[in-house]
Amino acid sequence: MHFPDASKLGVLEEIMQELIQKIVDHAGISETSANQAVSEVIDYVKQHAPAPVASQLETYLSGETASASLDAAKAAFGGLMGKSTTE
C-alpha cells in the first residue's frame, strides 16, 4: 500500500508515523517492517470490511476528506452569500 504525499495530509501523516513508531517500539521490529505491517492490516480491513466502511477508510487514507470538506464549505458559504461556486 502506498500512503499519500505528506504535504497533502499533514495530520494524517503524523498519525500514521506515530502508529508505525509505536509498533517499532512495542514489537521491537524495524520501521520498514512496521510500515509493511500497517499496510497489510489496512489492506486486510479494506478487503474484509463492509463496503461502506472500506470506502470511508480509503477516502480517509487518500486525504480526499479534508479537500472535499473544504470544497463543500466554500460552496455552502458562497451559496449563503448569493455567489455562484463557479465564479
- How is residue 25 written as a grid cell? 517500539
60 in a domain, yes or no?
Answer: yes
- Which residue stretches of the chain have pLDDT < 70? 1-10, 64-87
84 in a domain, yes or no?
Answer: no
Return the closest-CA partner of residue 5 out of 55, 66, 13.
Answer: 13
What is the predicted pLDDT for the residue at 78?
58
What is the predicted pLDDT for the residue at 36?
93
87 in a domain, yes or no?
Answer: no
Residue 70 domain boundaries? 8-79
Q: How many domains does the chain have?
A: 1
16 in a domain, yes or no?
Answer: yes
Distance, CA of 4 to CA of 82 (rounded, Å): 36
- The distance of Cα 55 from the centroid of its chain, to the nearest Å, equals 11
What is the predicted pLDDT for the residue at 60?
80
Q: Where are the beta strands (DSSP E) in the chain?
A: none
What is the predicted pLDDT for the residue at 35?
93
What is the predicted pLDDT for the residue at 46?
87
What is the predicted pLDDT for the residue at 74?
64
